[in-house]
Amino acid sequence: MAMAYRSRSYVLLRHMLRGTCATAGPTSPPREIASWSRCVNAIRTYATEHDDQSDVVVIGGGPGGYVAAIKAAQLGLKTTCVEKRGTLGGTCLNVGCIPSKALLHSSHMFHEAKHSFASHGVKVGGVEIDIPAMMAQKNKAVAGLTKGIEGLFKKNKVSYVKGSGKIVSQGEVLVDLLEGGTKTLKAKNIIIATGSAVKSLPGITIDEKKIVSSTGALSLPEVPKKLVVIGAGYIGLEMGSVWGRLGSEVTVVEFADTIVPSLDAEIRSSFQRTLEKQKMKFKLKTKVVSVDASGPGVKLTLEPSTGGEQTVLEADVVLVSAGRIPYTEGLGLKEIGVKMDKFGRLEVDKHFQTNIPGIYGIGDVIPGPMLAHKAEEDGIACVELLAGKPGHVNYDTVPGVVYTHPEVASVGKTEEQVKALGISYAVGKFPFMANSRARTIDDAEGLVKIIADKETDKVLGVHIMGPNAGELIHEAVLALEYGASSEDIARTCHGHPTLSEAVKEAALATHSKAIHF
C-alpha cells in the first residue's frame, strides 16, 4: 500500500516541481541536491500520513472495545484501541464482573466452611476471615487477566494507546496521553465503546469510604457490621451477598415493589424468599429521602415511595447500586453532532452507525442490556459489518445471570411477557430437589422453568434458579437461538448424574410429563 502511495506521490511531485526532483539526485550540484532532499521529505510525509491511518480506532478497552479491536485485526483491518484507565478490560474486568465473582467465590467458600463442611464429614475449627488475603487473591486474578488482554493485542497486532480519546472530526481522534502530551489518530472508522458509569442519586455523595459505589464495595478494608444497599438489582444483591456471608447485617432498600424487575415473577419470588432465609432484609416500595454521613456512621432517612411517615435507618456503610448510565463524557460527541436519545445513549442504525458516517457505537452506550457479553457480541458484529461480512446480534437471546447462591439465570421471555403478548403457552417446571446430582451435593434449592408456544412447542423463555444456573442456561440460549422446541431438548440425551438433567426434565414437563417428579 505504501509503495502505491509513493508511486503516485513521485508523479505528483514531478509535476509540481516541474521536473526538478526527477532530474536531481545525490550526485547533482548542491542547489539541485537541496531540491531533491525537499522532494524526498515530501514523499516520506505523504506516505507516512497514509501509513498512520487506521482502518478502525476503538475508543474504550472494555469487553466490547477490546473484543472489537481483536476481531477487527483478525479480519485484516489495521486497528488501534484507546483506553484511558491504563489497564484493559474496562469496568467489567477491573472493578466489576471479574473482581466481584472472585469475592463471591471466596465468601461462599468461607460460608461453606463455617456452615456446611461438618454435614459432609469435614471438621474444621477456628475458621477466620482474612480480608487482605481475600483482596489479594481478587487483585491477582484481575492483574493476570488484564495483562492477558495486552498479550492478545500483541498477538493480533492491535495498536494500544493509553489515554483519553476525543473525536475532533470525522476520522480524527485526539488522545490526551497518560504519559503526558497528545497524539492524533486518523481512522476510516471510529467505534465508541466507552461503557457505562455508576448512576448517582440526588443528594447522595459517593466518597468510596462510607458511601460507596460497586467499586468501593469491592475494596472495603473490613466487614461492616451494618450494610445498607440502595437498589435491588443484580449488582446490589451480589455485593450484598458477599458481605452478608462474611458477617454483615444487610438491608436492601428498593424504590420499586420487586427485586430484579427483569426476572420472571415466579422465579423472582422464590429468589427473594431464598435471600431472606440467608438473613438479607428488604425494604421495598421505599424511597431514600436523605443520607447523613457526618457522624461515625451513616443515617438514611426513608419514606414510602408513595409518600408517608419517615423513618431512620443506620448503617456503617451504604452501597449505592441504583443502576448505570452510558459514559460519553469528554468524547466530543455533541460538538460533532452525534445524536443521542433521552437516556444519553447513541442513536445507531442496524449496522451500529450513528448519524455521522464512519462513527459507530457498541455496548452500554447504545440501547440494549448493559451486559459485558452483549457488548462483546456488539463489537464482533460491528467490525464484521465494517469488513464487508454479515454481522448481527439477537438481543432476545442474550442471557442474564445473578451470581448469588443459588444463582439465577434467564433467557428469552418471562411468563408475564408471553401473557401480555396474547400468546397461548405451556409451562414446564422441575425442582432441583428432584435432581440426583443436586441432592448428592446437598445443594438442591431452586427450579428450572421452561415456557413454550402451546401450538408449535417453540421455546420462548427459560428461567433457572439453582446451583450453577449461570452455566446451565446456555443450553437454553442455544435452543432459543436456533428455534428449538421443548421436545428437542427433552429428546436430547443428558449425562447422568448431572444438574443439566433438570433442564431436560423441565422440557419433558413442558412437552408431556417429567419422569422424576
**Active site members:** 496
Q: Residue 17 burial (CB < 10 Å; 0-12/13-18/19+)?
A: middle
Among 498, 408, 401, 404, which residue's Cα sits nearest to residue 449?
408
At 263, give phi and psi (nearest 5°): -75, 155
473 contacts: CB under 8 Å, gap ≥ 6: 399, 401, 409, 410, 411, 462, 464
Nine-digit cell string for 379: 463489537
**Burial status of residue 154 (CB atoms within 10 A of its CB: 0-12, 13-18, 19 or more):** exposed
Q: Give the residue numbers of the binding site.
A: 101, 165, 194-196, 231-238, 254, 323, 364, 370-373
d(CA 421, CA 411): 17
- Count Cβ atoms below 10 Å from residue 165 Cβ, excluding itself: 27
**Are 167 and 334 within 8 A, CB to CB?**
no
Q: How far apart are CA 515 and CA 505, in angstroms?
A: 7
Instruction: Mention every residue, 6+ apart, whose C-beta is less than 8 A from residue 144.
Output: none
Binding site members for FAD: 101, 165, 194-196, 364, 370-373
**What is the grid cell recorded at 122?**
469435614
